[in-house]
Amino acid sequence: MAQEGLKRKLTAILSADVEGYSRLMGDDEESTIRTLTIYRSAMTTLIQQHRGRVVDAPGDNLLAEFSSAVHAVTGAVEIQRELAERNTELPDERKMHFRIGVNVGDVVEEEDRIYGDGVNIAARIQEAAESNSVFVSQSLFEQVKRQSTYKFEDLGLHSLKNISEKIRLYKVIGDLPSHRLISSSPLKRHASAAGVREASIAVLPFEVTGSDENQQYFADGLADDIIVELARFKKLFVSSRSASFAYGTQGIDPRQVGRELGVKHILEGQVRRLGNQVRISVRLINAQSGEHLWAERFDRPFNELFDILDELVSRIVGTIVGRVEAADMAEARRKRPEDMTAYDYLLRGLEHQRLGGVTLDNPRKALMWFERAIAADPNYGSAYAWRVCAATWLPNPDLDENMKYIQKALELDENEAEAHRIMGSIQMLYRDFEAAEYHHRRAMELNPSDAYIKARSAAFYTYKGEPTQALELIEAAVANDPFLPVYCIEERGVALFALRRFEEALLALGAMPFQTFRSRCYEAACRVSMDDQAGARKAVSKVLQIHPTLTALEFCQKETYQNREQISHLRDLLLAAGLPK
């Protein structure tokens, strides 16, 4: 009877406390309480901004919960950065350093309180955490690794006090750079600014049926390929991968997805692979009414997968657009792999590539699988292109070697949009802006619905000295995909800086879901340009919280403006703001 009122749920739990709290209280009790009260208020504000709530705050401890693991980690990192900024205003002996542990677990909820192992583990992780750091459990890491904007260090298995089993811990060690396959998770979702497009579709990530969860790489790769094939049709708007995959596979309301992505149709699917056989079940749904327009199931040998894709794409386009003539195709299709083993290896590599530099082990494994795909089918252009992407995550990538691989990719398949995008980026690093522009334009022609390609092309045009064109592209990209990675969204602020529209640039950068060291650098440059020296120095302080060893020289070497005077001017502004030389 006593348990009838109890409610169980799965939630993300944040536990924080002050390192050396007893010493601080012993030295100056009143000052410590004042600082703690101010810091706790700042923490509460950030927790609420990231859709969390404070559950309890006894003594120097704070306990909070979040409905999303992604928001819990982002909130934890933002708390540490905010408190580090506040600590710069205090003498060393009065600085207040927090340790934060984050876990996902089952809890018992009673009124506004939560109890259980999930809470206990979060508290023990917090005790194991270093000062000014965020440690997370493996259960939380597994939930955020596909959408993480941070790099993690695997700390191995740890024995925690009063916890029977060892728990693998991870430490947040910094921000990720730009990533092709990652989507953001906005704090607020809104209806698409473009409205619902008439001939439009979003392909949601496919579910894996059966007990083999290791086939998720195959399900994700299949959905990716359907998106790319559909994008060849000029009359059809296809929501990009980052937008569609932001919704996951569980508890999806097609009408909500349709409103937020501005699409009239949703494709859902399930996949099962047993040996050399595949079973693919798909449903085309009217996103406005929720009505199922049709459903289809394919049971075929794995080596007939691309025939299934052709049939599926033809039926989808025929339903949404009607009869399609040759002129309605955006471009010719990509070349199929000659060996299906190579295709399987490519999808396995993409599974690790999606995780990017979340841990350094991922790009190494991705590179291994892409090289296996090349060995299995030396004529498979996509494998060469993705190998270049994986190599760029590793320390000291070889630019000349990457150029050889991307040249080979385009030699084998001139219709691979991703290969053209990569080639455009590499040509820019060689400072051949004419060739870079050709490949960026070609990538957009081959896949006109791909918001990520538009956003990365926007970055190129800012560097080329055409920030107005960059703004047009980034606005089109954001209209197509409200879940673009933050590294794409920040290009709006960079383009406005290049146009010397500094106040607008600050507004654009400030509207980002969270700040990167690059966005803070451009904020500092804007503020110096506006004679706001105090604001510029504060921005630089926040830069160094994110990237403690960054120098103006290192930053500007990666800002590849065609006009070298622009690079020198940016460096001078950052030096004036206080960034080390």
Tens of pLDDT, residue by residue over 192-224, are 556 788 888 889 989 888 766 678 888 888 888
The 3 state secondary structure assigned to 260-310 is: HHCCCEEEEEEEEEECCEEEEEEEEEECCCCCEEEEEEEEEEHHHHHHHHH
Instruction: Look at residue 357 in the predicted model and tell me its pLDDT.
Output: 64
Q: Which one has a higher pLDDT value, 78 or 188?
A: 78
Mean pLDDT of the chain, nearest integer:
87
Give the pairing of strands 98-110 and 52-56: unpaired
CB 268 within 8 A of CB 204: yes
Query: What is the per-residue pLDDT for 313?
Result: 83
Say which range, 67-71, 480-484, 559-563, has the weakest mean pLDDT.
Answer: 480-484
pLDDT exceeds cutoff 60 at 325: no
CATH number of 200-328: 3.40.50.10610
pLDDT band at 520 (very low <50, low <70, confident <90, very high): very high
Domain 335-446 has CATH 1.25.40.10: yes
Position 384 pLDDT exceeds 60: yes
Residue 183 has pLDDT above 70, yes or no: no
Q: Considering only CA atoms, which of 46, 73, 270 is closest in space to residue 185? A: 73
Cα–Cα distance, 238 to 227 (Å, whole number): 7
Domain ranges, ordered by start, for the chain: 7-175, 200-328, 335-446
pLDDT value at 132 more than 70: yes
Residue 179 confidence (pLDDT) above 60: no
Which pLDDT band holds residue 345 (cuts at 50, 70, 90)?
Answer: very high
Average pLDDT over residues 71-93: 91
- Residues 230-254 have a mean pLDDT of 77
When mean pLDDT is compared across 198-207, 332-341, 488-497, the lowest value belongs to 332-341
Confidence of residue 567 (pLDDT cuts 50, 70, 90): very high
Q: Taking 50 as the threshold, does the pLDDT of residue 329 lie above it?
A: no
Mean pLDDT across the stretch 138-145? Answer: 89
Contact (CB, 8 A) for 526 and 505: yes
Of residues 112 and 442, more confidently modeled: 442
Q: What's the pLDDT at 5?
A: 60
Give the tokens for residue 391. Answer: 């190599």
The pTM score is 0.77
Residue 184: pLDDT above 60? no
Measured in whole angstroms, how far is the alpha carbon of residue 452 from the centre of its chain?
A: 12
The Cβ of residue 106 has, within 10 Å, a number of other Cβ atoms equal to 12
Q: If you average pLDDT over residues 143-163, what whole number do you get? A: 84
What pLDDT does 193 receive? 54
Contacts of 413 (CB under 8 A, 6+ apart): 334, 335, 381, 382, 419
The pLDDT of residue 186: 47
Strand ranges for 449-577 from DSSP E? none
Q: What is the model's pLDDT at position 324?
A: 46
Average pLDDT over residues 249-271: 84
- Which residues pair with residue 286 across a beta bridge? 265
| CATH architecture label of 7-175 | 2-Layer Sandwich (3.30)
Q: What whole-number percentage of the chain has pLDDT above 90?
A: 52
Q: How confident is the model at residue 173 (pLDDT cuts 50, 70, 90)?
A: confident
What whole-number distance in Å separates Cα of residue 65 and Cα of residue 580?
A: 38
pLDDT at 328: 46
Residue 189 pLDDT class (50, 70, 90 cuts): very low
Mean pLDDT of 24-44: 94
**Mean pLDDT within 479-508:** 90
When pLDDT is cut at 50, 70 and 90, the band that residue 121 belongs to is very high
- H/E element, 175: strand 167-175
Rounded mean pLDDT, 477-483: 81
Please state the φ and ψ torsions of residue 114, each to the nearest 5 degrees: -130, 145
